[in-house]
Structure 1
Amino acid sequence: MPAIPDPAQPHTAPQDTAPTGTAPLGTVPTGTAPTDTAPQDTAPRGTAPTGTAPPGTAPTGTAPPGTAPPGTAPRDAREELRAAERQLQAAQLSSDVAALDRLLDDRLIFTGPDGKTYRKDDDLRVHRTGTQVINSLHEDELDLVVAGDTGVTWFLGSLSGSINGVPFTARMRYTRTWIRDDEHGWRILAAHASVV
């Protein structure tokens, strides 16, 4: 979901800022362990977390088995969304256009840090042509929320790469709105990027 710079305009971006008209989503390089700020279960393997009922039972006032309490998403939906976010990052790093095509909804609208909006075809084109290359990404935070078949991810991290051959380095915040259906799984419907 990068904003596409105008190839006719010279492009000189200072280091530590995103080039005008660019907003790469970023990726997690192989061999790095991104941090994750989402709450984690802390019970030892094979035991239920404190305050939960033994398997096959449900304490009074809790949601039926297989459902989440009101206002929360089942853990597997959160993990599926986290996996989709990481697949997106890997596809961005490798410019895997087929994977990006699967992960981006056809109706996608992306707002770059320059305030311009872009569509799915814009993102696929910069990866297909090599206009945008992401060489590295360090994920500092990844938060998410799921409500039914809608999810939102918040990424914060540092990226480096090039746009039209001009190197860039930037610290970025991405907010992505995802939708889920049985046919496609999680797909990005809208996204916004800011330089931080």
Structure 2
Amino acid sequence: MRPNLTVLTHVLVTRLMFQGKRATGVEISYRGTLYRIGAAVEVVLSLGAIYTPKVLMQSGIGNEAELQRLGIPVVQHLPGVGQNFQDHVAFDCVWEYQEAIAPRNNLSEAIFFKGDQSGLDSPNLFVCQAEVPKSNAENVARFGLPDAGWTLFGAVAHPKNRGRLRLTGSNPSDPIMIDANTLSDPDDLKAAIAPCKGGHFADWE
């Protein structure tokens, strides 16, 4: 462990602290108590595609109208915060083993990329292989899931649709609303069908 590094786990970052418009530290909730940690040089906020904009908006950086609606003091009107959300949505095709084979290594051993049309600069689809049966809760409830099997799941590599993230309240524990806008672009919908159409992954040569 580096002597100048402290790692805290199970911490909720509640907001940034500011002096004027300069970030000076972070406020955190740790073991039921709020702490404020000041920065000597700079603040690096790296919480991923969902929680980074969430903390920014909770801190008063975002669309002024949205922040004012929730009673959050505006530090900087920056309407792009929470916009342009992008995600890769995968669609599972599951095969049941006639005889169960134990998973090996990291469970996902292969991935390949392919274009479903000519004239593309790069492949617009990708497919991953998993050595276990997997699906979402809705599909499992409707179709079931075998005890042993394997999965191929295809996804759109460069989706055109864009979603947005919005706060549901001013409290840091309030969940964030994710409007992914998935498959809203007709080209994305067409591409998403291609890998699993008829289950014929074997046709992809």
TM-score by length of 1: 0.23
Greater C-alpha radius of gyration: 2
- Normalized per residue, the structure richer in strand is 1
Q: Which structure carries more relative contact order (alpha carbon 8 Å, separation 6+)?
A: 1
